Amino acid sequence: MKNVDRRTGYYDKAKETMAPAARRRYQESWLRALVAMAWERAPGVRRRMEAAGLGPKGLSSLEGLTRLPVIKKSAMPDLQRADPPFGGFCTVPMKQVRRIFVSPGPIFEPLGPEVGSWHMETGLYAGGFRPGDVVLNTFAYHLTPAAHMLDEALNLLGCTVIPTGVGNTDYQVQIAKAVRAAGFVGTPSFLMTVLKRAEEMGVGGLPFQVAQVGAEALPESLRRTFEEQYGIMTRQGFGTADIGMVAYECPEKSGMHLVDEAIVRVCDPQSGEPLPNGQIGELVATVNHHTYPMLRFGTGDLTVIDDSKCPCGRTSARMLGWRGRADEVTKVRGMFIHPRQADEVAARVQGVLRHQVVVTRKEHQDLMTFKVELAEGMEAGPAKSVLEAAVRDVMKLRGEVEVVPKGTIPEGAKKIDDQRKWD
Ligand SMILES: [Zn+2]
What residues flank ion ligand 1 with Cβ within 5 A? 250, 252, 310, 312, 314
Which pLDDT value is given to residue 1? Answer: 52
pLDDT tens-digit readout, 131-158? 999 999 999 999 999 999 999 999 999 9
User: Do 246 and 265 meet the contact criterion of CB atoms below 8 Å apart?
Assistant: no
Mean pLDDT, rounded, for 182-202: 97
CA distances from 360 to 229, 299, 300, 354, 357 (A): 26, 23, 21, 20, 10
State the distance from the centre of ligand 1 to the C-alpha of 307, rounded, in angstroms.
11
In the chain the domains, ranked by start, together with CATH numbers, are 332-418 (3.30.300.30)
Query: 310 alpha carbon to ligand 1 midpoint, in Å?
Result: 5
pLDDT in tens, 215-226: 888 989 999 999
Question: Residue 279 has what pLDDT?
Answer: 82
- Are the CB atoms for 211 and 233 separated by under 8 Å? yes
Alpha carbon of 23 to those of 31, 197, 255: distances in Å? 12, 45, 19
**Cα distances (angstroms) measured from residue 92 to each of 83, 144, 290, 297:** 15, 20, 9, 20
Tell me, in angstroms, the distance from the centre of ligand 1 to residue 290's CA: 28
Q: Taking residues 362-389, report their average pLDDT.
A: 93
Residues 6+ apart with CB under 8 A from 261: 30, 119, 287, 288, 289
Confidence of residue 2 (pLDDT cuts 50, 70, 90): low
Closest residue by Cα to residue 65 from 295, 237, 389: 295
The CA 231 to ligand 1 mean position distance, Å, reads 21
SS3 395: helix
The answer to whether 237 and 256 have CB atoms below 8 angstroms apart is yes
What band does 363 get if pLDDT is binned at 50, 70 and 90?
Answer: confident
Distance 272 CA to ligand 1 centre (A): 28
Distance 251 CA to ligand 1 centre (A): 7
CA 276 to ligand 1 centroid distance, Å? 21
How far is Cα 185 from Cα 206, in angstroms, rounded to an integer? 14
User: Which pLDDT score is estimated for 364?
Assistant: 85
Nearest Cα neighbor of 297 from 95, 112, 24, 34 is 34
| Rounded Cα–Cα distance for residues 349 and 346 (Å) | 6
Quote the CA–CA distance of 220 and 198 in Å, as a whole number.
Answer: 22
Per-residue pLDDT tens for 298-310?
999 888 899 999 9
Phi, psi of 72 (to 5 degrees): -85, 140
Which residues are CB-neighbours of 390 under 8 A, at least 6 positions away?
A: 344, 345, 348, 349
Residue 287 Cα to ligand 1 middle (Å):
21
Handedness of CA 148, 281, 418, 196 (dihedral sign): positive
- Distance from the CA of 1 to the center of ligand 1, in angstroms? 24
For ligand 1, the distance from its centroid to the CA atom of residue 249, given in whole angstroms, is: 7
Ligand 1 centroid to residue 333 C-alpha, Å: 27
Our CA dihedral for 144, 146, 152, 156, rounded to 10 degrees, sits at 160
Summarised one tens digit per residue, pLDDT across range 89-115 is 999 999 999 999 999 889 999 999 999
The predicted model gives 117-135 an average pLDDT of 98
Residue 345: which of 366, 311, 368, 322 has the closest Cα? 368
Query: From ligand 1's centre to the CA of 255, what distance in Å?
Result: 8
Tell me which H or E stretch contains 188.
helix 188-201
User: What pLDDT sits at residue 31?
Assistant: 98
C-alpha closest to that of 188 among 161, 219, 162: 219
- Banded pLDDT at 336 (limits 50, 70, 90): low
CA of 146 to the centre of ligand 1 (A): 24
- Measured in Å, residue 240 CA sits from the centre of ligand 1 at 21
Task: Find the 254 Cα to ligand 1 centroid distance in Å.
Answer: 7
What pLDDT is recorded for position 395?
84
C-alpha span between 261 and 422 (Å, rounded)? 29
